[in-house]
Chain A
Amino acid sequence: MSLSQPKMSVAELKERHLAATETLNNLKQRLNQTRRSLLDTDIAGYARSQGKSAVTFGPTDLVCCRTLQGHTGKVYSLDWTSERNRIVSASQDGRLIVWNALTRQKIHAIKLPCAWVMTTAFSPTGQSVACGGLDSVCSIFNLNSTTDKDGNLPVSRMLSGHKGYISSCQYVPDEDTHLITGSGDQTCVLWDITTGLKTSVFGGEFQSGHTADVLSISINGSNSRIFASGSCDATARLWDTRVASRAVRTFHGHEGDVNSVKFFPDGNRFGTGSDDGTCRLFDIRTGHQLQVYCQKHSDNDIPPVTSIAFSISGRLLFAGYTNGDCYVWDTLLAKVVLNLGSLQDSHEGRISCLGLAADGSALCTGSWDTNLKIWAFGGHRRVV
């Protein structure tokens, strides 16, 4: 604060703050209105006008081919490796289990120092797993290290510094040494694992970041300097890791907590799933909301979306809901083409997480019924 500026009384400052907030809210409203008027149509409208028809799914096109049993508590999070078909899952029973997705074998069962884990991720090389939760610390385990005398894998690094719980984490693609975490303290942090220190903090008390808990993050597969975050403030924000001070763009539209964000395979768009029961697709270049994916329910009670994933071409959007449904949306036509929750062998509880294998041939879903299920494309479809 320079000494040459006129000083204002505290009361005046408060008044100006209130006025500024009011102006801001008005501008936001006008912005939204302008955006909406600029959008002539959404994706589905356009696709229909071009004569596209929805993907058809027969009963054998996507089936549950494996059920991974072993957790004794709700499964909260899962992640695939980039190759070799292994999955790591985190559960309320305080354990991480690394599975071989093909044989259903449990390769590792890691007992966590803090049982309240919310997220887990595999490193790009598949050598380490990271996890975080209510302890506000992101713990890294090296899967090749020797177990201690109790048979437990030791923590190889603890990334501490968050002031709230860790809701989501992801390694930066092709870099075993960096990962990004999203936290209940409203910030996202890029960490350097070798030193255990924060490289950058996105958001926070005095910077323009999220104004509520961050629930999910997703790194752009085509440009790993860009990542998106979804939060309880009903917005999703786009960040550039080189510019930590403010978000590149904020995406409004949802009417409830944004539980999940995932980048579209081509890296120019990303999808979100929210408590308001809808999934939305946003374009990062124009900032527009391209499509809303919402299924009308007879009793008007739309269950919240807990997690989403795109198929490898992006034609399909998988969305897990709190009532155990898992809809497969045709992203172009915004139609539900399949509900995994209605198939045989489906989960008996809420779907809490889902992820697509690196080669796109299988989808894994994790649920509060303590199981994970692997769904594979069968018949003539190998991959969509």
Chain B
Amino acid sequence: MGSMPEGRKCVTCIGQAIDESKRLKLGKHSRVLSRLLSPLEVKQIMKAEKECSANQLRPEQLIVNGFSLKDDEMAELLGCPLPPRKLKPGRYWYDKESGLWGKEGEKPDRIISSNLNFTGKLSLDASNGNTEVYINGREITKLELRVLKLANVQCPRDTHFWVYDDGRYEEEGQNNIRGNIWEKPHGQRDETSNYTTVPNYLEQKRVQKLLLLGIQGSGTSTIFKQAKFLYGNKFTAEELQDVKLMIQSNMYKYLSILLDGRERFEEEAISRMNGQGSPDQTTEPGNNGEASNTNECIYSLNPRLKHFSDWLLDIIATGDLDAFFPAATREYAPLVEEVWKDPAIQETFKRKDELHFLPEVAEYFLNRAVEISSNEYEPSERDILYAEGVTQGNGLAFMEFSLDDRSQRPEMYSENLDAQLPPQTKYQLIRVNAKGMSEGCKWVEMFEDVRAVVFCVSLSDYDQLCLTPESGGSGTLLQNKMMQSKELFETMVRHPCFRDTPFVLVLNKYDIFEDKIGKVSLNASCEWFNDFCPVHAHQNNQSLAHQAYFYVAMKFKDLYASLTGKKLFVAQARARDRVTVDEAFKYIREVLKWDEEKDENYYGPPEDSFYSTDISSSPYPRQE
């Protein structure tokens, strides 16, 4: 564009170098610009902004071997056969004989062309090494020494090596070539990491770890299992057996919650029916009370089943459920069905919103009690997904997989081998049990090396309550589950070990949310959402759900930005629908790519535009 030769600079600033603190904004269009101009114009302006000479790296910003570069030295550096790519302003050292290049005070991080001439000469302490082993006159670091040892190079103290640009090395004073530390690629250009014999030195991390977190019921185990179905190995016989036992023992747990609820409702109903009599009037079901008292109500269970109910509740009270189930499952199966179908229990189930521990899937499994309890039962895929938890002990679960790495947008990559991640990047998905996470999160530090934290929140939790231990330690209190999620989210974001880790928020259970939003108001149910003010275009639930979804996403984004100053990436999912989980993982992969590129968003020869038409790079969450 004629009127914006250097992008968004004001007229007086044209030709001047930019303020380094604004470097990160270069090439990224602002919202105002995108509203004023057409996308094509915006693209051209951004291109001009990134490519104009005034905005490039200046030679005086690079200090090599202690001296800033002159113009011709910089030209030589960038124009050589193997130039350093994505250079940032800073202090570096350069070894002319071997072509090793690194940040001042650190080990080498790449190999560039050898024999480039700079004013400064390589100094002994360029890497701040303390190993008393020297390469071309530079004392190497502990890590380099370890790597040499791994490559079977003999390097006792006070050894001086000459290393040539093709990887050959010899000891100073000796005239024989000892061997090769690295191999030069034949014919092919580029590839800064061409070490073949030495592992883990300049290579990028191969396995990208992803941590899946969320409170109970947020869907982390479902997402994990979906990922397993999508990208992982099939469930082994052992794993299937494990899931089966888990489903069976969970079923008894659901039943006990219902039975306990039934007792409560019965008690309340009876005391109400007996009028305002004093609460400690003895009313004993089964015994003939006075004529004016009733002992039966819709919640009363027949005595035979009551016996079983008492027994089961006793076991749960002592915490011994594991001792009986799933071992005794088959024996009690017919009884379970009878109890489930009993009208008293069905009445109790109608008030399931008051039973705070009863998960939504309880009905799904209790309806098939006999089938599930039989020896021949084999959980279907749906059963596996619906079952609570991943493994019986509900400890940590992890799996490795790789996503197909072909990008959707071909213009992101150009002809030369600039792929940020080599094909077949392996991911490791780690899912940790939500229970007890807020207390003493000491073990969270073990995950400081994860590439991203995938935090799951169930959208439909906004009106759900759950018992949580009170911080005073003296009991439990009922808390809104969305608030619980918010608290956990905050704790994780604040944790020092995740300071530089990107977070991806997955808002799950969109389908239930959509159904509910019309009937149960968002701002009334959750105090955090009390400023939700939807536009009243209530033709259908869908538009209300859309608005509510964006609102919730914005609340989390604002919270995240207020804590870290960074952008939160948000994805929507209905974890039981496998396609949405697949999309969520592909989105996570993109987030990881952006995170890598963000670090290297500096200059070198004009690069492909980062500008992406994906809405996710703008502050608004992704739309379906």
Contact = CB atoms under 8 A, between A and B. Distances in A.
Interface in B371-429: 392-396, 398
B442 A7 contact: no
Given A6-B282, A8-B280, A165-B443, A204 B435 contact: no
Interface string A15-33: 0011001001100000000
B436 A7 contact: no
Nearest to B200: A72
Interface string B212-252: 00000000000000000000000000000000000000000
B173 interface: no
B540 interface: no
Given A6-B280, A9-B268, A21-B475, A162 B443 contact: no
A107 interface: no
Contacts of B443: 116, 118, 134, 165, 184
Nearest to B398: A114
A185 B268 contact: no
A233 B318 contact: no
Contacts of B281: 6
Given A25-B474, A184-B436, A114 B396 contact: yes
B62 to A, nearest CB: 31
Given A114-B396, A134-B432, A213-B439, A10 B475 contact: no
A9 B269 CA distance: 11
Interface string B435-448: 11001101100100
Given A7-B267, A9-B279, A136 B442 contact: no
B490 interface: no
B271 interface: yes
Contacts of B436: 164, 184-186, 213
Contacts of B392: 160
A232 B268 contact: no
Contacts of A211: 469, 473
A163 B264 CA distance: 28
A3 interface: yes
B277 to A, nearest CB: 11
Interface in B251-282: 264, 267-268, 271, 279-282
Contact of A9 (B271, B282, B287, B322): B271
Interface of A, secondary structure class, is loop
B279 A163 contact: no
Contacts of A257: 440, 442
A6 B442 CA distance: 46
A162 B435 CA distance: 13
Nearest to B280: A6
Interface string A194-228: 00000000001111000111010000000000000
A82 B123 CA distance: 51
A204 B317 CA distance: 11
B319 interface: yes
Given A137-B393, A257-B440, A7 B446 contact: no
Contacts of B525: none
Contacts of A45: none
B353 interface: no
Contacts of A215: 440, 442
A161 interface: yes
A135 interface: yes
B241 to A, nearest CB: 14
B396 A161 contact: no
A136 B396 contact: yes
Contacts of A162: 393, 395
A12 B279 CA distance: 9
B283 interface: yes
Contact of B446 (A8, A24, A92): A92
B595 interface: no
Given A114-B396, A136-B395, A7 B439 contact: no
B284 interface: yes
Interface string B293-326: 0000000000000000000000001110010000
B218 to A, nearest CB: 19
A124 B282 CA distance: 60
Contacts of B440: 184, 212-213, 215, 232, 257
Interface residues of B, number: 35
Interface string B461-499: 000000001000111000000000000000000000000
A25 B472 CA distance: 11
Nearest to B286: A3
B394 A10 contact: no
A135 B469 CA distance: 24
Indicate the member of B267, B286, B396, B469 with the most A CB atoms within 10 Å.
Answer: B396
Contacts of B475: 17-18, 21
A18 B283 CA distance: 25
Nearest to A234: B473
Interface residues of A, number: 40
Contacts of B395: 114, 134-137, 162, 164-165
A136 B393 contact: yes
A296 to B, nearest CB: 25
Interface in A273-327: none
A116 B446 contact: yes
Given A137-B393, A163-B393, A10 B474 contact: no
Contacts of A161: 322, 393
A118 B394 CA distance: 17
Contacts of B271: 9
Interface string A318-338: 000000000000000000000
B221 to A, nearest CB: 15
A21 B474 contact: yes
Contacts of B396: 114, 116, 134-136, 165
Given A211-B473, A215-B442, A257-B440, A163 B394 contact: yes
Contacts of A206: 317-319
B287 to A, nearest CB: 8
Interface in A160-195: 160-165, 184-186
A10 B267 contact: yes
Contacts of A136: 393-396
Interface string B564-602: 000000000000000000000000000000000000000
Contacts of B442: 213, 215, 232, 257
B297 to A, nearest CB: 14
Indicate the member of A10, A12, A18, A134 with the most B CB atoms within 10 Å.
Answer: A134
A205 B442 CA distance: 21
Indicate the member of A3, A24, A116, A257 with the most B CB atoms within 10 Å.
Answer: A116
A114 B395 CA distance: 11
Interface string A149-160: 000000000001
Interface in A116-149: 116, 118, 134-137
Indicate the member of A10, A165, A232 with the most B CB atoms within 10 Å.
Answer: A165
Nearest to B323: A198
A205 B319 contact: yes
Nearest to A211: B473
Contacts of A137: 393, 395
Indicate the member of B394, B398, B440, B469 with the most A CB atoms within 10 Å.
Answer: B440
Given A116-B446, A134-B432, A206-B318, A212 B439 contact: yes
B449 to A, nearest CB: 8
B267 A9 contact: yes
Given A10-B268, A163-B393, 8 more contacts: A114-B395, A134-B395, A135-B393, A137-B395, A160-B392, A161-B322, A162-B395, A212-B473
Nearest 5 A-B pairs (CB), nearest first? A136-B395, A232-B440, A134-B396, A6-B280, A21-B474
Interface of A: 3, 6-10, 12, 17-18, 21, 24-25, 92, 114, 116, 118, 134-137, 160-165, 184-186, 204-207, 211-213, 215, 232-233, 257
14 contacts: A7-B283, A9-B271, A18-B475, A21-B474, A114-B396, A118-B443, A118-B446, A135-B393, A136-B395, A163-B394, A165-B443, A184-B440, A184-B443, A232-B440
